[in-house]
Amino acid sequence: MIEVKKLSKTYSNGGVETQALVDVSFKVEKGEFVAIIGPSGSGKSTLMHILGALDKPTSGEYILNGKNVENMKKDELAEIRNKEIGFVFQSYNLLPRMSSLKNVMLPMAYGGIPKKERIKKAEKMLKVVGLEDKLRSVPNQLSGGQKQRVAIARALTMEPAIILADEPTGNLPTNQSNEIISLFEELNKNGHTVIIITHNDDIAKKARRVLTLVDGRIVSDQKNI
């Protein structure tokens, strides 16, 4: 499903080169639940952006569903982000003036799905995350956990191959954080491939596989039993 081979990313800033990723290689199969952990500055976010087709690697290969992503053009990458990847961000990134329903409908609008179908699907996805009574609420009227659930519903609507979550509980209190984690577990049980980047060891324990990054290299790849 996902395969990265010798992935490297180098940033150069005023002549000083920083290696964010060095020869990272791994595979993720369909239905896996992977946590990527590591200290800050270890290259987690860079890896996440490359996996999410938001950024390009300096060298190496990234194969998603059999397609080489690293050489794609801007519009092709937009298509990949729309159809193959569901993003969940630390700061939710909902559009403040739109209702939950409209926020969830947004990726489908870019995917060219007819409006009627969009509304139906968005309602369904908000039900999946337990927010069927908050369809018309705007983000300001929701708690952090509820906002993150809207964001997860948004990530699910295009039925992507993988769900990428970047510190999804980073801004949440413990009880809401646990709810979000159980939601990811449930999604994984229902067959979704989930990759979560986190600082949180509790989350890492719940994942079935943990990749540890240090200084841009994978230092361990463990399966939780």
Partner 1 sequence: MRLIEIFEESISVLKTNGMRTALSALGIIIGIGSVITLMTLGQASQQSVKNRIQSLGSNLLIVRPGAQRSGFLRGSASGNTTLKYSDAKAIEASQRINTIQKVAAEYSSRTQLVYGRNNTNIQVSGVTGEYFDIRNITLTVGSPITEQQNQNMEKVVVLGPTVVEDLFGTNVNPIGKSIRINGTSFTVVGVTKSKGSSGVGNSDDIAYVPLQTAQKVLFGVDYISTIYVTAKNDDLMEAAQNQLGFLLLELHNKATPSDADFTVSSQADILETATEVTSTFTTLLTGIAAISLIVGGIGIMNIMLVTVTERTMEIGLRMSLGAKSRTIITQFLTEAVVLTITGGMLGVLIGVGASTIITKAMSLPTAISYQSIVLSVVVSCLIGIIFGWYPAYKASKLQPIEALRYE
Q: Is the CB of residue 108 less than 8 Å from the CB of residue 118?
A: yes
> Of 33, 62, 89, 184, which lies in the binding site for partner 1, with binding defined by CB under 8 A?
89
Does the footprint of partner 1 cover residue 154 (CB under 8 A)? yes
Beta-strand relationship, 209-214 and 33-37: parallel
- From 9-17, 22-30, 93-101, 123-131, span contacting partner 1 (CB under 8 A): 93-101
Per DSSP, helices labelled H in 22-114 are: 44-51, 74-83, 100-110
Does the footprint of partner 1 cover residue 83 (CB under 8 A)? yes
Does the footprint of partner 1 cover residue 33 (CB under 8 A)? no
Q: Considering beta carbons, is residue 55 or 179 the nearer one to partner 1? A: 55
Q: 5: closest CA among 52, 42, 73, 60?
A: 60
- Minimum distance, C-beta of residue 28 to partner 1, in the bound complex (Å): 20
Q: 157: closest CA among 186, 133, 188, 192?
A: 192
- From 30-38, 89-97, 120-128, 186-194, span contacting partner 1 (CB under 8 A): 89-97
> Of 11, 18, 27, 109, which lies in the binding site for partner 1, with binding defined by CB under 8 A?
109
> Of 2, 9, 47, 81, which lies in the binding site for partner 1, with binding defined by CB under 8 A?
81
- What is the spatial distance between Cα 139 and Cα 94, in angstroms, rounded to a whole number? 7
Q: Considering beta carbons, is residue 83 or 124 the nearer one to partner 1? A: 83
Beta-carbon contacts of residue 14 (< 8 Å; ≥ 6 apart): none
| SS3 of residue 166 by DSSP | strand
Q: Tell the residue number behind the tokens 């976010």, with chain if given.
A: 45
Binding site for partner 1 (CB under 8 A): 49, 52, 54-55, 74-75, 78-79, 81-83, 87, 89, 93, 95, 97, 106-107, 109-112, 115, 154, 158
